Amino acid sequence: MQKFEIEGLFDFLNKGVSAFHSTAAAVEILEANGYENRPETAAWELVPGGKYYTTRNGSAVLAWRMPKGTLTGWHVTASHSDSPTWKIKELDGGKDAVFARAETEGYGGMIMPSWIDRPLSVAGRILVRTEEGVKSILVHPDRALACIPNVCIHFDHEVNKGKNYNPQVDLQPIFGAAGTTLREVLAEEAGVKGEDILDSDLVLCTREQAERVGLKGEYFMSGRIDDLECAYTTLWGFLQGEGKEDGRGDIWVMFDNEEVGSSSRQGAQGTLMANVLARVEEKLGVTREQSIRACTNSLLLSADNGHATHPNHPEKSDPAHPVTLGGGVLLKYNARQTYTTSGFTGSAFSAICQKAGVPVQAASNRADVPGGSTLGNLLGHQILIPMVDIGLAQLAMHSSMETASCIDAEYMAKAVAEFYNTPISQPKDGEWKLGL
């Protein structure tokens, strides 16, 4: 097994400035490890033991290893590529005699004031007219293009007593002096004509790079830790899978749009994973009965970060179940089943973590605080595989800059690598057979 390096995670966080860039970064890693692209629009040639990936919308990606024998089950991890940010409505901006503007609206449930008074850039894709149709081009100018300026305290003496931010009024960015547009800047960046840009999918992104913090460098800060930390560490673990178990296939998937409900075609409620499974099973000659048996004999890790107990506000967390940075991988529970972990699925993952020497923390909200949800519960509407919700502890979730633990990232990577190399099956309902 390779040694996990935190710098690899930092590189992934720095590159993942939009869901499209996160997917491109993942594809780069997959191709470097011998995975071949299988576009959804093409006929697929698949061989036993083959390594493949496909993308959807350029913002979601699924990679898999073909089983070498009769299909018996799957190891799966799922994460997401998107983070809360500001979506740019259109390239040519609002009318302003002083500033270059481009109106935005919020994407996901963010901590709004964390975006104020910091240098921002733009990332995403532009859709460009060509002689043959339309081409998608990723853009991310490597410089500060915008800021969201605060109102000075002299005009708002009550600001430090709390403020109700109106995103239409208080949080619109400026892009410099009037006289140019974002369209012109991005056209120059991409080497195309401004009039050939037909549309775009663009967001604001922070300029800060991921870096260690703490007296011993034990923590790190970055934008987009939720959920690119889980995306990268599960991908790293997936790539350590040796594929020794005949009949078992391995899947790694990074969906888009989790932060806004996963209901898009590239989200967990879409058909990406169901479609890939159907096409793979057809190539394998799998019957409907075999398909159901294989899914029942599988386990899926829904990987999305959770909340550490806050040092200044421990009262926000369940005092009987503190969650600490550096305390290990989270097993996330919720009585309403918005997290998919049950005693049954949690026990299997806990046993695998014990085998890997990885500590596990049980994570659940206070009884008087409604629990969150993530992609596992929604993916379960499409796929009947038993699931467990896991994650890593972090602070300031949904801020433009978040904080997490370096050792926790290594814990997750090791646990997932062990997962992909542990035979799993259900000899009967309610029992696991694990190759521990």
| Tokens read off for 208 | 């800060």
| Tokens read off for 211 | 């870096």
Closest CA to 244 of 415, 68, 83: 68
Closest CA to 227 of 262, 256, 268, 251: 256
Q: Write the single-letter amino acid at 145.
A: L
Closest CA to 381 of 294, 262, 280: 262
What span, in angstroms and rounded, lies between the C-alpha atoms of 294 and 286? Answer: 10
- Per the listing, tokens 């995306």 go with 231
Is residue 13 within 8 A of residue 228, CB to CB? The reply is yes
Strands 387-391 and 299-303: parallel
| Tokens read off for 123 | 């990332």
Is residue 44 within 8 A of residue 268, CB to CB? The reply is no
Strands 219-222 and 104-107: unpaired
Query: Exposed, middle or buried, 100 (CB in 10 Å: 0-12/13-18/19+)?
Result: buried
Instruction: Specify the pLDDT at position 416.
Output: 98
| Tokens read off for 200 | 């775009």
Instruction: Specify the pLDDT at position 179.
Output: 86
| Cα dihedral sign, 283-285-289-290 | negative
Domains 6-83+223-434 and 85-206 share a fold: no
| Cα dihedral sign, 289-294-297-298 | negative
Instruction: Specify the pLDDT at position 48.
Output: 93
User: Which strands sit side by side in the sheet containing 329-332, from one edge to the other?
Assistant: 36-37, 51-56, 60-65, 248-255, 73-80, 299-303, 387-391, 329-332, 360-363
Kindly report the pTM of this predicted structure.
0.96
Q: Would you report the helix, strand and coil content of the chain in percent, each value rounded to 5?
A: 30, 25, 45
Is residue 317 within 8 A of residue 309, CB to CB? The reply is yes
User: Helix, strand, or coil here: 121?
Assistant: strand
Query: Residue 113: how many CB atoms within 10 A of its CB?
Result: 16
Q: Write the single-letter amino acid at 360.
A: V
Architecture of the domain whose range is 6-83+223-434: 3-Layer(aba) Sandwich (3.40)
Query: Residue 292: how many CB atoms within 10 A of its CB?
Result: 12
Cis check for the bond before 389: say yes or no (omega within 30 of 0).
no
pLDDT along the chain (436 residues), means of 10: 94 98 98 98 96 98 95 96 95 84 94 96 97 96 95 91 91 91 94 95 97 97 97 98 90 96 92 96 94 94 95 90 95 87 94 96 86 82 91 97 98 98 92 87
User: Distances in Å between the alpha carbon of 226 and those of 113, 393, 401?
Assistant: 18, 10, 10
What span, in angstroms and rounded, lies between the C-alpha atoms of 207 and 17? Answer: 9
Cβ-based neighbours of 239, under 8 Å, separated by 6 or more: 2, 29, 33
| Tokens read off for 427 | 């000899």
Instruction: Specify the pLDDT at position 135.
Output: 96
- List the domain boundaries for the chain: 6-83+223-434, 85-206
DSSP assignment of 248-305 equals EEEEEEEES-GGGTS-STTSTTSSHHHHHHHHHHHHHT--HHHHHHHHHT-EEEEE--
CATH number of 85-206: 3.50.50.60, 3.40.50.720, 2.30.250.10, 2.60.60.20?
2.30.250.10
